[in-house]
Structures are given as structure tokens and as C-alpha cells.
Amino acid sequence: MKKILSAILCSVLIFTLSGCDRSGVKNDNDSKSNIKETTNDEDIKTKEVVLYFSDDQAMYLVGQKRNIEENTAKAIILELIKGPSQLEGEEKLFETLPSNLGLLDVQVKEGIANVDLSGDTVQDISGGSAGEGMALYSIINTLILYEDLGVTKVQFLVDGKKVDSIKGHYDVSVPISEDEDMIKR
């Protein structure tokens, strides 16, 4: 009888202990990692970047400062695609890239930013040779003059392939350097 009673008590004890989990138990390491994650979320750092947009005559590029959270060439070009902010008291700036421009990828290797655009949307770049120049050099000057990226030249691709030109006016078959003469001072 003692053996049966002992077996029942052991079974009840094992059953009771196995039903407990650690969800209600706090571990010092868990609370420290939660504090660290919260701190990181609260301390999101932004970087100031100068984006180049067209002036009202499509003759010069004008810099506009913008804070971005992601410090990558792709994030910067996506900001260019959004267009300029129209702030009161500042010169009116115009977009250089169509809002539907497809940016497939941007890879920076050995100082060259390979900017891959969608062939379905590059034809929406408007304005003939002036519009094409503004579009290309807004990307080129923005990426190269933002020194944190380490970009020295920009190579344009369309649908992953090198092309001679985007719209027939500028040679993009080789990597291109910045043109600071296009920037209004």
C-alpha cells in the first residue's frame, strides 16, 4: 500500500511540476536585452543628405537637405524619386525623376555605384536632353557628393544590363563622374 501511495504522490508531483513553465519567471539577462532593444528603437539615428533637384529653368541642380534613416545609396535614390520638399522661403525646386521610376537595385563596389533602373519606367523621364541630364546628374551628384557612401562614379543599368543611353542623349555605357558645374551656387 505504501508503494502505491508513493507512486501516486510522485505522479502528482511530476504532473504538477511539468505543468509549470518559465513564462512568468523573469531572467535578469532577458530584462537587460529588452532594455537594450528599447533603447535602440528610441535612439534611431538619421543622417543628413543633400539631394539635388532641378531649378525652375532646368539649367542647374540645387541642393536640398533631407534627413534619412537608412544610410544606403538605394535609400538616397528613393528619396530623390519622392521629389523635392517645397519649403516656404526656399527656391521652388522641381523633380528630376518621375515618381513611378522603378529602382531595381543599387550596388556599390570599389567606388562605383551600379544603379539598375526598370526599362518599363525610364521612358517616363521627361524633358528631352535637358530632362535626361537633370535626371542622371541628380543621381550622380547626390551619390558622389555624399562622401559617406564612398562613391566616385555611377554606372547606369537598365533591367540589369549596361546600355549606351537612357533616352538617347547621354552616353551611360561607362561609369560617370560628378559634374559640379551643374550645381547652382
pLDDT tens for 94-150 read 999 999 999 999 999 999 999 999 999 999 998 889 999 999 999 999 999 999 999
0.85 surpassed by pTM: no
Q: Which residue segment(s) compose the domain that 156 sits in? A: 47-182
- Count of structural domains, the chain: 1
Residue 9 lies in a domain: no
Q: Does residue 32 lie within any of the structural domains?
A: no
Q: Is residue 33 part of a domain?
A: no
Instruction: Please report whether residue 77 resides in a domain.
Output: yes
Q: Is residue 53 part of a domain?
A: yes
Q: Identify whether 29 is part of a domain.
A: no
Rg (the chain; Cα; Å): 28
- The band of 8, judged by pLDDT with boundaries at 50, 70 and 90, is low
Return all residues near 51 (Cβ < 8 A) that are at least 6 apart.
63, 64, 65, 66, 76, 79, 80, 84, 138, 142
Residue 154 placed within a domain: yes
Is residue 21 situated within a structural domain?
A: no
